[in-house]
Amino acid sequence: MASGIFALLDDIAAIMDDVAVMSKVAAKKTAGILGDDLAVNAEKASGFVSSRELPVLWAIGKGSLLNKIIILPVAFLLSAFFPVAITVILIFGGLFLAYEGAEKIYEFLFHRQHHTTQPVVEKLTEEEILAMEKGKIKSAVVTDFILSVEIIIIALGTVIEESLSTQILVVSVIAILATVGVYGIVALIVRMDEAGYKLIQWAGNREHSILKKTGKVLVLALPKVIKSLAIIGTIALLLVSGGIFVHNIDFFHHLFPQLPSFVKEFIIGLVIGFIVLGIVTLFKKIFGKKN
């Protein structure tokens, strides 16, 4: 009886060792998309008043977790019975990400004067601020859904030859790490200024204190970090979308073989993004006139 229990424990330990090794491999494979996920979500989670940053981020994080709970079983079922559907879903997701990236660039180039700043937000009513928050949360959760699909599919591809139980364990580990890791780092980024103010308070009147200097650096760095993340997030959207097209459509895969892969993916994402943006804008004008 005791020997049977020990044998079972040995089997469980061996399985967990295999899961740990394969999870490490899957994490390396998804590292790039996780970096893009971080940049995109940090940009989307910024721009709120200080007291609302963490509640908004918590709402997006819960949406992200729900996304993965929905995606995981569907991904396993499709992978087993209808694998072509995964490619179709990825391509439609790529179109949406390319559209988002192109729209951000278009808004920056042609409607920069309409971008609002923090003082303007303070003049809004509480209902308008909450409506704006809901809109940004919804947009962030939709984008996270597409990025989550990409992360889970890549992770699943690294263990596709393994048993179903191993696939479930490895991909679930990656999904949890993606959610906790990405949104944990985003929370640290958006609270940089608060941490800086705390350090300045702790330093008191000691002007040359390391705490005070560090606090000032954090406070001054946050706006620059947020602006950088807006740029990085837009580039990430186009790179991810371009990567989806390159890896899933033969025509794009063999196009411009002389170019570095990231350059090709960015160009393809950008071009397709503006094509989709043009189509969406045209439809809006047509249906807007009819209405």
**Residue 51: which residues within 8 A CB-CB, separation 6 or more?**
none
Tokens (6 digits) for 12: 């469980």
Which of 85, 87, 25 lies closest to 246, judged by CA? 87
Provide the pLDDT for residue 50: 65
Residue 34: CB atoms within 10 Å: 21
The domain total for the chain is 1
- For residues 251 and 264, give the distance between their C-alpha atoms in angstroms, rounded to a whole number: 12
Residue 207's Cβ-count burial label (10 Å; 0-12, 13-18, 19+) is exposed
Residue 167: CB atoms within 10 Å: 21
Q: How many helices (H) and strands (E) does the chain have?
A: 10, 0
Alpha carbons within 13 A on the beta-carbon side of 70: 13
Task: Look at residue 47 and tell me whether its pLDDT is greater than 70.
Answer: no
- Distances in Å between the alpha carbon of 256 and those of 123, 133, 246, 253? 50, 41, 11, 8
Provide the pLDDT for residue 12: 44
Tell me the per-residue pLDDT of 115-149, one tens digit each, with 9 for 90 and over: 544 444 456 677 777 788 788 888 888 888 877 88
Task: Look at residue 37 and tell me whether its pLDDT is greater than 70.
Answer: no
DSSP label of 34 = H
Task: Look at residue 6 and tell me whether its pLDDT is greater than 50.
Answer: no
* Helices of type H across 191-260: 192-203, 210-248, 250-253
Per the CB < 8 A criterion, the answer to whether 33 and 240 are in contact is yes
**Residue 197: which residues within 8 A CB-CB, separation 6 or more?**
215, 219
Task: Look at residue 192 and tell me whether its pLDDT is greater than 70.
Answer: yes
Per mean pLDDT, which range of 4-13, 217-226, 228-237, 247-256 is the poorest?
4-13
- For residues 169 and 167, give the distance between their C-alpha atoms in angstroms, rounded to a whole number: 6
Provide the pLDDT for residue 268: 93
Higher pLDDT, 180 or 267: 267
Tell me the per-residue pLDDT of 194-203, one tens digit each, with 9 for 90 and over: 788 888 888 7
* Region class of 116: left (phi > 0), else alpha (psi between -120 and 50), else beta: beta
Provide the pLDDT for residue 11: 44
Label residue 215 by pLDDT band (50, 70, 90). confident
Task: Look at residue 267 and tell me whether its pLDDT is greater than 90.
Answer: yes
Provide the pLDDT for residue 274: 95
**What is the average per-residue pLDDT within 212-240?**
80
Which of 179, 152, 172 lies closest to 29, judged by CA? 152
Higher pLDDT, 115 or 242: 242
- For residues 247 and 256, give the distance between their C-alpha atoms in angstroms, rounded to a whole number: 14
Per the CB < 8 A criterion, the answer to whether 242 and 261 are in contact is no
Tokens (6 digits) for 99: 């559209």
Provide the pLDDT for residue 20: 60
Indicate the average pLDDT of the chain: 76
**What is the average per-residue pLDDT within 264-288?**
90
Residue 288's identity, in one-letter code, is G
Per mean pLDDT, which range of 40-49, 223-232, 249-258 is the poorest?
40-49
Torsion angle, alpha carbons of 253, 255, 256, 261, to 10? -20
**What is the average per-residue pLDDT within 71-94?**
82
Task: Look at residue 1 and tell me whether its pLDDT is greater than 50.
Answer: no
Range of the domain at 255: 2-290
